[in-house]
């Protein structure tokens, strides 16, 4: 399976999502994460520690892809229309992470508009959902559902343990923190939704 993670806005958890989906998929079969982000966030993350799957840039990824059952592609923020066409042509599912704020939601709706006519399967993932009593996550979900957009049932909470994982260069399920299991469980649920 090829899963591409893309967004029209940076800072929405794109690389974190790609990395944790690759971690989950690796529990099912050999998985390759291709880091196509200009900032090389996933490669940087892997260089700081140890990940349970292979991370490669696009050039290496082309040569390695045939060796893996699952491929997750982390993309640059705001792909052009032609880049978007190329990305969706080669994937089984496009995951669009978005945080529940007005600017990110507007960028997500722009991306959904750009996908019209490209005949691709995509699903939106709400990330960095603030804790209660803040209702931004619930309100974003209601808005997206009212527009009839495909949305993951599971959302990703805003937790500092993700930053700890990035600093240690490991997936969140390796971090010794009381919130690590909660953070990891969310991505496990997203992974299950992908494989259903």
Task: Write the pLDDT tens digit of every residue in 85-104.
Answer: 888 888 999 999 999 999 99
Encode burial over 162-196: b for 16+ CB neighbours within 10 A, e otherwise: bebbbebebbbbbbeeeebeebbebbbbbbeebee
- CA distances, 140 to each of 40, 100, 175, 186 (Å): 29, 5, 29, 18
pTM: 0.94
pLDDT digits (tens, 9 = 90+) for 37-46: 888 889 999 9
% of the chain with per-residue pLDDT over 90: 84
What are the domain boundaries of the chain? Answer: 2-195
How far is C-alpha 88 from the geometric centre of its chain's CA atoms?
15
- Cα–Cα distance measured from residue 111 to residue 67, given in angstroms and rounded to the nearest whole number: 31
Domain 2-195: top CATH class: alpha beta
Taking alpha carbons only, the member of 65, 61, 4, 71 closest to residue 31 is: 71
């Amino acid at each position: 399976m090829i899963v591409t993670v893309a967004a029209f806005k940076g800072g929405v958890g794109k690389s974190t999502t790609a990395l944790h989906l690759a971690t989950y998929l690796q529990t099912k079969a050999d998985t390759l994460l291709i880091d196509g982000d200009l900032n090389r966030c996933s490669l940087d993350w892997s260089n700081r520690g140890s990940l349970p799957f292979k991370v490669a840039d696009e050039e290496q990824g082309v040569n390695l892809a045939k060796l893996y059952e699952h491929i997750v592609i982390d993309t640059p923020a705001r792909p052009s229309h032609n880049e978007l066409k190329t990305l969706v042509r080669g994937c089984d599912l496009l995951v669009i992470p978005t945080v529940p704020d007005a600017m990110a939601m507007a960028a997500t709706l722009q991306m959904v508009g750009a996908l019209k006519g490209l005949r691709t399967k995509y699903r939106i993932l709400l990330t960095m959902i603030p804790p209660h009593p803040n209702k931004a996550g619930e309100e974003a979900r209601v808005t997206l559902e009212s527009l009839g957009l495909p949305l993951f049932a599971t959302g990703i909470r805003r937790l500092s343990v993700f930053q700890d994982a990035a600093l240690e260069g490991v997936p969140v399920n390796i971090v010794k923190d009381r919130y690590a299991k909660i953070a990891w469980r969310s991505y496990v649920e997203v992974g299950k939704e992908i494989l259903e």
